[in-house]
Amino acid sequence: MNTKENRKMPSFVGPLAAVVVLSVVLTVVSRQFLTLDNWMNILRQTAINALVSCGMLMVLLTGGIDIPVGASVALSSCSMGVAMQHGVKNPILLILIALLAGFLCGGFNGLLFTKLKLPHPFVSTLGARQIFRGLALFITGAAPIAGFPCGVAFLGYQNLGAVNFPLCFLVVVLIFAVMSLFLNRSALGRKIYSVGGNREAARLSGVNVSRTLNFVYIMAGIMCALAGIVLVGRVGTALPLAGETYDTDAIAACVIGGASFAGGKGTVSGTLCGALLIAVIRNGLNLIGSQTDVQYIVTYSGD
């Protein structure tokens, strides 16, 4: 009973403890940190990275990587904006267009790896990042798009109750809960872990590896589209250059939460805590007046 497996702590314990310790330090340094308004702002900041990280986690579980997540966020939100400019006003249709764009981005990434047999997903998705970013700039004329209807933007700006709890973070919690059940309780979820653990053994066991890989990349694209919708609600515009650091943020959140580049290892709860830790670090640096270059150094050296 006293085995290494039994003594192993859950993956979220480390990053959650780091959040607590850092919060104590920042509370001493800044009076504003522990205020309710500031913590609601931290949750808003966490939401976008958490959504992108959720998709990234699924890809990492298979031993892959999804470099163009930031470009996928930008292209999904810009596709929605261009559709609005061309007369589509129904919020549901606009959201579906964004989700379709994310679906196509993820599907494209998956097919590049599974059908073209490129040596590693890093190679294929690195090229896809440039393609998606270029498409976002092309369809928008490199200009931001504003004026989205409230039915689209509410997910990013709407608050709940007297404490102004951000709706976007509630959506994140619900998505992460569903994703946790999916990965741990469903047959496809177990296949995702098995592909990352040993791809050849999974194939010999009857797992359709290509189909599983395509699925995780598509899900990553859809998560990016959701993040793009939240981003539009937060900033009020669709930006073709949005999400430049989303790939590093998402990878950092997953790895902090216990995921491995080798695949087969990682949890949803750990990833959420990793995203929260990054948001706390950035928020604390903003409160103490750190410059942007210092924030980059501290955030990513800490990761």
Which pLDDT does position 151 carry in this prediction? Answer: 92
Which residue range is the domain that position 216 belongs to?
A: 40-302
Which pLDDT does position 278 carry in this prediction? Answer: 94
From CA 118, how far away is CA 174, in angstroms rounded? Answer: 35
The structural domain count of the chain equals: 1
pLDDT at residue 43 is higher than 70:
yes
Distances (CA, A) of 143 to 2, 78, 139: 61, 10, 9
Flag whether 20 is in a domain. no
Q: What is the pLDDT of residues 115-166, one digit of tens each?
A: 887 777 787 788 899 999 999 999 999 999 999 999 999 999 999 988 899 9
The per-residue pLDDT of the chain, averaged, comes to 90
* Poorest-pLDDT segment among 62-66, 114-118, 206-210, 232-236: 114-118
Flag whether 14 is in a domain. no
CB 110, CB 121: distance < 8 Å: no
Flag whether 15 is in a domain. no
Which pLDDT does position 8 carry in this prediction? Answer: 65
Confidence of residue 180 (pLDDT cuts 50, 70, 90): very high
Flag whether 12 is in a domain. no
Which pLDDT does position 6 carry in this prediction? Answer: 43
Look up the CATH number of the domain holding residue 253: 1.10.3470
Enter the pTM of the model. Answer: 0.91
